[in-house]
Structure 1
Amino acid sequence: MIQNTIKLFQPAKQRFVPYKMKTPAYSLIIPVYNRPQELDELLACIQKQDFTDFEVVVIEDGSTVDASSIIAKYKDHFSLAYFVKENGGQGFARNYAFERAKGEYFIILDSDALLEPSYLAEVDKAVKSEGLDLFGGPDQDHPSFSPIQKAISYSMTSFFTTGGIRGKEKNIGGQFHPRSFNMGISRKVYEATGGFKITRMGEDIEFSIRCISLGFKSGLIPKAFIYHKRRTDFRQFYKQLHFFGRARINISRFFPKELKAVHFFPFLFFSYYVLTSLALIFYPIIGLLFLSGILAYSLLIFLAALISTKHIGIAFLSIFAANIQLFAYGKGFAEEGLRKIINNSAA
């Protein structure tokens, strides 16, 4: 927990902790926005890494609650640089860090991540043995997470929501696409791509696809997993997944062929919910029949989550997480898809 009072930062001011002279193998890139406590927990994990040839670059992306007191705790324990910039979004914050990083490889981490001490050692072993230029690891829940966080984690990785493709070597129709909560690239990748092209709305997937299209080798490192906190309540989770649905359409603006049939499943789920609601109002008998489908799906989620988590409370919460996930994603997908159709028609 943070004991000190957090001070407001001056937007134009830059804070910088000098680098050690030695060029590190890895630069850990951490954008942060109003999350000093989460950054504290992540830096504590980084301090315990078995592999020590690294630096950390923290980018404060226009926060109103800064992390300077947290940086002060760790600046003498490992090579640590800290910059404050105006808010520009996570993609461009990472680019800002890439320009200043010294490592041969850059590893992007979300501030709401926790690492095992072996994380960097597993990354280094895989990168060297497999010759990877683009890589990442899966995510999972930590024993300390709340029941809602564990339910959300289950939902985001379940076969019955995402097809179980998150954190898998093969994506639908292609190679592994690292996500920015746990993504690594070589310096060669940065020099060839210039970093992120967009700052939000699926920026990490667009970046991964572009890297692979240039011939860089991508690979999943299963043992380089993180504990990802995600959202702590269902309202935040809804907003996040609604944004993810919009982002999938946004990615198709750059790579139309990357919009696969599987991505329409949440849209169909959302549409089914809308039809069920209308039917319950105008044709109650048909509506009850449709509602039975939702109840059957919810029962499936409950049983699958109970088998996976062995916790009846988390299994019950997983029903809400799964339904929120698919509904919110499908709604965002529908809204952004309609916006794309209208814009294309007007062009």
Structure 2
Amino acid sequence: MARAFAEAGHEVHVLTAPRAGLVAGGLTEPPGVRIHAVEELQGGFAGAFAHPPLRHAMAVYTTLKTLHARHSFDFIEFPERECEGFFALRAKRTLGHFASAVLAVRLHTPTAELLKLNRVATLTQDSAQQEFFEAASIREADLVLSPTRALLERLGPGHSGVVVPYPLALPTESAAVHPRPSVLYLGPLEYRKGVHLLIDAMQALFARGLRAQVRLIGDDTPTGPGGGSLLQWLKRRIDPAWSERFHFEPHRADTERAIATAAVCCVPSLWDNLPYEGLGALAAGCLVVASDAGGLTEVIEEGRSGLLFRSGDVAHLTDVLEKALGTPAPREATREHARARIAAYCHPASIVRQVEAAVADAAPKRYQGPPKPAARAPGSDAPLVSFLVPYYNMGRYLPETLRSIRAQTLTDYEIVLVDDGSTDSESRALLDTLHAPDLRIVRKRNGGLSSARNAGLRVARGRYILPLDPDDLIEPTFLEKAVAVMEATPGLGYVTSLVAYFRESPENVVGGWIPSGLDRDALWVVNAASTCTALMERRLLEALGGYDEWLTAFEDWDVFSRMAERGLTGMVIPEPLFLYRRRSDSMTHTLRLAERLLLLSYLSNKHATLALDPGRSLRIREGEAHRMEARLLAEVAAAVPPPLMNRVADRVNGTLKRFDLLHHTLRSAARHVAPDESRPIRHQLVDRLRRKPPSGA
């Protein structure tokens, strides 16, 4: 495709993960094509991306910004798979980056659909977030390119796009017609590929007296029953009498020779988009027998350029294969027709013209970036934004937080500082020194975090509310960017940003967190939406009833859940504009285990109908519990001798079976268990299990 674009007169750049020989110059670039390696993330913030696809997507975005500044691209295409373009697409929508380019997403098959087709139900928070970001990439793209109508239809109502097939050049020679019956399968050994149907059909033909060989070229996958090897499951299906007729081989880059020696190439998928293996076989003139589920039905002309069978129907596949293998006539009849069909349907130059036309039609939709926030109305003394800062014995950190507020590039704000009955003398004395036109101090008896925020909400005058804890910081552009996104995107519930963790100094970044937004299924299990620091409309927060004062923690999670139940969405700016201070004595770390479980149960009961797909929520919860249990036991194993480890593992497993600990508890335990030879290991475990990670993590 890159060569075809270059031959049409375009300047072409390919951005890819680092590969052997690429950086060292070992790869010869086609004329007119430049190839670039993604620059890997560096520094403490890279720790925010524990899930490799998200880390790669952020690296793509940061590298692409540099390349776009040099070359000013007109068209940028991403795959939807593994959300590779998510951060770049979100940056265009929230920050106006890449405004001169049409950003397109090329569909393959989204991860959620692949898992469904492979009967894989396991989910973790990471994989659920990847699914959510893939869907967001498709929604936010300027242009969606799908190789088939079948894929757009599978994604359901509301998904529109332009059908542009994959490009494929014909091989120089066509496959020979072989008198000896042989069947070839190319592709990964996945359940969704229907390889088991082919094996069952061929054994039925062997029982009828057919003498033939079956060659299966592709790598094994864990999509067999119980997440086991599909290869081993397939081999167990084969009757020993026929085992010598099936030949399994690992994936190979050069498949043309295999196609050239096959009488029939079978694509037995339960559903497939537009597999290159089938296209390659058609291009070589090999007779292709394919299922009627998916995109190959849009390419194969039944009986002319290939044969189709009813997806999942072994008996019908058996009959179609018998017809294909019985005599050379079907293979001779389809050889030239198949090559001609691919030459017309997938010719790279034709695909270039189709993409050019789609980009031209998408050009008016180019996003030019959010507008600048409107100035305060003449004669009005109401600020645009009210910061809500709850304060309880935090004098050590408050001055730095106030400085970060006053460093904002958007200055139309007020600070509402709510002293929630501080008892520390230095913290109380500090309040007496804070006198400024932009600051109002509200004093009240201690009532907890929700009570303090509600007290600030009652006196706030701004159109927007931005909660900020008195030990956290925001970057100077947080307010300007968040307000601009909010005003450019009607119907948003909130706007927030990526989160960077720091210790002591904001220069000492030690990790971070990537909020998802309002994924209702995930939100029922964990606060995937945001930290408390999210810009919201004051009237919306008031309409929601403010903060639930029964909650001594997770009050922000509760607010986001209520937004989601109203059908609202949130927006996460793809920059770490919020700086979260990691402190071992913070409220989130000292919350007792019993209290946490009570609060989580309260939230689950309050938002019983939050999840759109409760089954998906349960899968996320179970996946996280399993993953965190394994991590906890691994860290304990590294901390104690083997005999003691066996007793600890038994005790931990027993506890986890008796109590259904949620994701927060398990992650906390996994993160914080560490050896301390001065105290019994059971005491250390109890201490660690009583802690929790930062809000939202």
Instruction: Please say whether Structure 1 and Structure 2 have the same fold, judged by a TM-score greater than 0.5.
Output: yes
Which of 485, 500, 512 matches 1:140?
A: 500
Q: Which residue of 2 aligns with 1:106?
A: 465
Matched-pair contact (CA < 8 Å) for 1:245–1:329: no
Which of 378, 389, 393 matches 1:34?
A: 393
Q: Determine if the alignment matches structure 1 residue 55 to structure 2 residue 414.
A: yes
Residues 1:204 and 1:179: Cα distance change in structure 2 (over 3 Å): same
Which of 180, 185, 208 matches 2:560?
A: 208
Measure, in 2, the Cα distance between the counterparts of 1:239 and 1:97: 25
**What value does the CA root-mean-square deviation take over the aligned residues?**
4.3
- The 5-angstrom pairing of residues 132-281 of structure 1 reads 132-142=492-502, 145=505, 153=511, 157=513, 166-169=514-517, 171=519, 173=521, 177-180=529-532, 182-197=533-548, 198-223=550-575, 225-232=577-584, 238-240=589-591, 242=593, 247-256=599-608, 260-264=618-622, 267-268=625-626, 269=628
Alpha-carbon distance, 1:88 to partner: 1.0
Which of 318, 322, 325 matches 2:671?
A: 322
Residues 1:267 and 1:249: Cα distance change in structure 2 (over 3 Å): farther
Measure, in 2, the Cα distance between the counterparts of 1:214 and 1:172: 11
Matched-pair contact (CA < 8 Å) for 1:245–1:328: no
Corresponding residue SS for 1:219:
strand
Matched-pair contact (CA < 8 Å) for 2:520–2:564: no
Alpha-carbon distance, 1:125 to partner: 1.3
Per-residue deviation, residues 117-168 of structure 1 (Å, max 9, x unmatched): 1121111111111233323223213485499x855x45xx4xxxxxxxx423
Residues 1:329 and 1:143: Cα distance change in structure 2 (over 3 Å): closer
Matched-pair contact (CA < 8 Å) for 1:276–1:290: no
Measure, in 2, the Cα distance between the counterparts of 1:86 and 1:45: 27
Alpha-carbon distance, 1:267 to partner: 4.8
Residues 1:238 and 1:69: Cα distance change in structure 2 (over 3 Å): closer
Which of 439, 442, 445 matches 1:83?
A: 442
Residues 1:112 and 1:143: Cα distance change in structure 2 (over 3 Å): closer
Identity of aligned residues (%): 20
Between the two structures, name the one with larger relative contact order (CA 8 Å, sep ≥ 6).
Answer: 1
Alpha-carbon distance, 1:174 to partner: 5.8
Unaligned runs of 5+ residues in structure 1 are: 1-19, 158-165, 292-318, 334-347
Residues 1:171 and 1:330: Cα distance change in structure 2 (over 3 Å): farther
Amino acid at match of 1:133: G
Alpha-carbon distance, 1:225 to partner: 2.1
Residues 1:238 and 1:261: Cα distance change in structure 2 (over 3 Å): farther
Matched-pair contact (CA < 8 Å) for 2:518–2:570: no
Amino acid at match of 1:63: S
Instruction: Indicate the structure with greater helix content.
Output: 1
Alpha-carbon distance, 1:254 to partner: 1.1
Alpha-carbon distance, 1:261 to partner: 3.7
- The 5-angstrom pairing of residues 291-302 of structure 1 reads none
Matched-pair contact (CA < 8 Å) for 1:27–1:102: yes
Measure, in 1, the Cα distance between the counterparts of 2:671 and 2:388: 31
Alpha-carbon distance, 1:228 to partner: 0.7
Alpha-carbon distance, 1:68 to partner: 5.4
Corresponding residue SS for 1:133:
strand
Residues 1:288 and 1:55: Cα distance change in structure 2 (over 3 Å): same
Measure, in 1, the Cα distance between the counterparts of 2:472 and 2:499: 9
Alpha-carbon distance, 1:255 to partner: 1.8
Amino acid at match of 1:186: E
Residues 1:174 and 1:290: Cα distance change in structure 2 (over 3 Å): closer
Per-residue deviation, residues 64-104 of structure 1 (Å, max 9, x unmatched): 0264554555533x421101111111112111111110000
Residues 1:136 and 1:329: Cα distance change in structure 2 (over 3 Å): farther
Corresponding residue SS for 1:212:
helix
Residues 1:324 and 1:261: Cα distance change in structure 2 (over 3 Å): farther
Matched-pair contact (CA < 8 Å) for 1:27–1:106: yes
Measure, in 2, the Cα distance between the counterparts of 1:212 and 1:144: 35
Amino acid at match of 2:671: A
Q: Which residue of 2 aligns with 1:309?
A: none
Amino acid at match of 1:192: A
Corresponding residue SS for 2:423:
coil
Aligned length: 269
- TM-score, length basis structure 2: 0.33
Per-residue deviation, residues 242-273 of structure 1 (Å, max 9, x unmatched): 46565433321212355644345565545986
Measure, in 1, the Cα distance between the counterparts of 2:518 and 2:405: 29
Amino acid at match of 2:464: Y
Q: Which residue of 2 aligns with 1:65?
A: 424
Q: Which residue of 2 aligns with 1:305?
A: none
Residues 1:146 and 1:100: Cα distance change in structure 2 (over 3 Å): closer
Q: Which residue of 2 aligns with 1:314?
A: none
